[in-house]
Chain A
Amino acid sequence: MISTEHLSKWYGQVSGLNDVTVKVPPGITGLLGPNGAGKSTFMKLVTGQLKPSKGTIEILGEPIWGNPALYHRIGFCPEQDAFYERMTGLGWVTALVALNGLEPAEAEAAARRALEAVDLLDAAEKKIGAYSKGMRQRVKMAQALAHEPDVLILDEPLSGMDPLMRRRTIRLIREWGRSGKSVLVSSHILHEIESMTSNILLINNGRILAEGNVHQIRELIDTHPHSVFIRAEDPKALARALLVEDGVISMRFEPGAVSVETARPDAFYARLTEMAASGEAGVIDEVTSPDDNLQAVFKYLVKQ
């Protein structure tokens, strides 16, 4: 699906990506690395936004830089929270998918299908400026998949989503994978990536450290406490409910939110999703995880 040969990218004197040779196979592949590891540079090179300083990159057998026709087959969901805020979700997705050459009626129908796929059809006529963080993430995904591309490239797609939407989105990405689409998804959270695929590219300091089915990383990360930031309607009630959970090491309250440190992230995320579904501890608005967890693991890996 994606192949690079000695791919490097420099920003002046600063190296963003360094001599990366990798073949990303069809199916779902996770690109895992802490902030500043080179994930975004890799994504921008893969999507043709940046030109390689050295080496080559091919998507579906063709070079991507200066090859706009290839975007018929690629859908990209960028990391940045940037929109035309005054437009409605439907208007925005329709306008973008129209750039793929669809007639207005076809474009609107495609946009509606995409918004339905990300469970946003009810809010399609709302202005994007009025969307929650999770809805903004979903409308970004809708514009990426509206033209039914062969390859989906998703940069931190779960960032800021509530647990239920996170679960639904993970399921959606897996369905795309099963339906024959290729997906490259980046994250700094191993548990997110792992729930979508076992095929992982590990990136740090602009280099691919490892690729393939990386079980050792999974074991390694369990030995490090994992921090989770939860924005909720009633953080105190949520904290009370979570305190009894096995593996919770510490908690810290912040305005409208609680930060939890856990030694058992898998069990913790599962329980959090149950709580969000049942509403037993009030509404959970947003779940994020700082990349400190992964950073510690990467430091350990590099030393190894």
Chain B
Amino acid sequence: MRGAWRVFELSLGEMLWSRRTVFLAIVVGSPVLVAAVIRIVDSMGVTPFRLNGQRLDYTAIFGVMIWLLFLRFIVPVLGVFYGTSLIADEVEDKTITYLFTRPIRRGAVLVGKYLAYLVCTTLVVLPGVMLVYFLIVPFQQIGGSFTMLLTDLGLLALGLAAYGGLFALIGAVMKRPLIVGLVFAFGWEQFALVMPGYMRRFTLMYYVQSLVPHAMPAEGVTSLLQAFFTSTPSALTCLVSLAVAIAVSLTLAGKAVERREYVLDQ
């Protein structure tokens, strides 16, 4: 673990100031922009969202943004783009040599870089979520829903950890990890989630979304979609499943990196 920690220290700064972080900021910035627009429209006296003629609760709007934008889109996207490139970026930049010719296991290099990914993404995503929250939820409603925000932050961190771990494994064993990762996140997971039966249990989103604390709108397409997730496993089952998924993914990824040769382009 000491080696992994040293790799984490070395990698975090590089990751935070990389071009990829600009992409991350843009992705996370979009919901913030949407939230700012909602706040401006609201301050102009226009009610932006209604359901059955009723003004939609702002906490519910925040819940929908967490659910649809962050959990269903941003978390898997970041997991794919960062997770699959943990080692690939070092190989592409030809800096992997410096890490693989040191007296630490290659698996520790992967774990160190995974931890750097986790810290880097949560440092950008979680403040973004907080901004969205404070832009959307009126000041007087904050007290009642603040615990929900904290749960959301924890949930997003867990989602980033789970997707990052799985895509680290895909990055370690596949030749075209980005394509495979995108197909998994936006092909397989979307398909399996809407299929009846047990298939959804073979997705990460099933367990992550089951932990969402928000009460969704009672009618409409969103509620219809949510109905698919209401037959949810218990919170404990979800947490244990995600923890197992992370541990298994990282263990297998570490073993794959130990065995694999990385031939740098001349």
Binding site for B on A (CB under 8 A): 11, 40, 47-51, 66, 68-72, 74, 76, 78, 80, 82-84, 86-87, 95-96, 98-101, 143
Contact (Cβ within 8 A) A99 B94: no
Contact (Cβ within 8 A) B97 A99: no
Contact (Cβ within 8 A) B101 A80: no
Contact (Cβ within 8 A) B2 A101: yes
| A78 contact set on B, CB distance < 8 A | 94, 97-98, 101
Contact (Cβ within 8 A) A100 B103: yes
* A74 to B99 alpha-carbon distance, docked (Å): 13
In this assembly, does B264 line the interface, its C-beta being within 8 Å of a C-beta of chain A? yes
Contact (Cβ within 8 A) B6 A95: yes
Contact (Cβ within 8 A) A40 B14: no
Contact (Cβ within 8 A) B14 A84: yes
* A252 to B14 alpha-carbon distance, docked (Å): 42
| B101 contact set on A, CB distance < 8 A | 47-49, 71, 74, 76, 78
| B99 contact set on A, CB distance < 8 A | 99
B7 shortest CB reach to chain A, Å:
7
Given A49-B261, A51-B261, CB of A71 within 8 Å of CB of B93: no
| A83 contact set on B, CB distance < 8 A | 95
* A202 to B69 alpha-carbon distance, docked (Å): 61
Q: Which of B10, B14, B102, B261 contacts A71 (CB 8 A)?
A: B102
- Which B residues between 192 and 213 are near A, CB-CB below 8 angstroms? none
Closest to B260 in A: A51
Q: Which of B102, B261, B266 contacts A50 (CB 8 A)?
A: B261
Interface majority SS (helix, strand, loop, mixed), chain A: loop
| A68 contact set on B, CB distance < 8 A | 102-106
* A101 to B95 alpha-carbon distance, docked (Å): 19
Contact (Cβ within 8 A) B102 A82: no
A-B contact pairs, 15 of them (CB 8 A): A40-B266, A50-B261, A50-B263, A66-B258, A68-B102, A68-B103, A71-B101, A74-B101, A80-B264, A84-B14, A84-B95, A87-B14, A99-B3, A99-B10, A99-B99
Residues of B in contact with A, size category: 20 to 34
The 10 closest A-B pairs by CB, nearest first: A82-B94, A99-B102, A71-B103, A95-B10, A80-B94, A76-B101, A78-B97, A72-B103, A68-B103, A82-B95
In this assembly, does B100 line the interface, its C-beta being within 8 Å of a C-beta of chain A? yes
* A172 to B263 alpha-carbon distance, docked (Å): 30
A156 shortest CB reach to chain B, Å:
12
Q: Which of B7, B14, B263, B266 contacts A99 (CB 8 A)?
A: B7
Q: Which of B13, B104, B258 contacts A87 (CB 8 A)?
A: B13
In this assembly, does B9 line the interface, its C-beta being within 8 Å of a C-beta of chain A? yes
For the complex with contacts A68-B105, A80-B97, A101-B2, 19 further pairs of A-B residues with Cβ separation under 8 Å are: A11-B263, A48-B100, A48-B101, A51-B261, A66-B258, A68-B102, A68-B103, A68-B106, A69-B103, A70-B103, A71-B103, A78-B98, A80-B264, A82-B94, A96-B98, A98-B6, A99-B10, A99-B104, A101-B103
Given A11-B263, A72-B103, CB of A99 within 8 Å of CB of B6: yes
| A76 contact set on B, CB distance < 8 A | 97, 101
- Which B residues between 16 and 71 are near A, CB-CB below 8 angstroms? 17
| B191 contact set on A, CB distance < 8 A | none
In this assembly, does B262 line the interface, its C-beta being within 8 Å of a C-beta of chain A? yes
Contact (Cβ within 8 A) A143 B264: no
A58 shortest CB reach to chain B, Å:
17
Contact (Cβ within 8 A) B103 A99: yes
| B17 contact set on A, CB distance < 8 A | 86
* A266 to B35 alpha-carbon distance, docked (Å): 71
* A47 to B9 alpha-carbon distance, docked (Å): 24
Closest to B5 in A: A98
B134 shortest CB reach to chain A, Å:
32
Most buried by A among B7, B97, B262, B263: B97
Closest to A40 in B: B266
* A66 to B102 alpha-carbon distance, docked (Å): 11
Most buried by B among A47, A70, A72, A95: A95
* A80 to B262 alpha-carbon distance, docked (Å): 14
B105 shortest CB reach to chain A, Å:
6
| A72 contact set on B, CB distance < 8 A | 103
Closest to B112 in A: A99
Q: Which of B2, B6, B97, B105 contacts A49 (CB 8 A)?
A: B97
* A100 to B98 alpha-carbon distance, docked (Å): 11
* A84 to B102 alpha-carbon distance, docked (Å): 16
Closest to A74 in B: B101
| A87 contact set on B, CB distance < 8 A | 13-14
| B95 contact set on A, CB distance < 8 A | 82-84
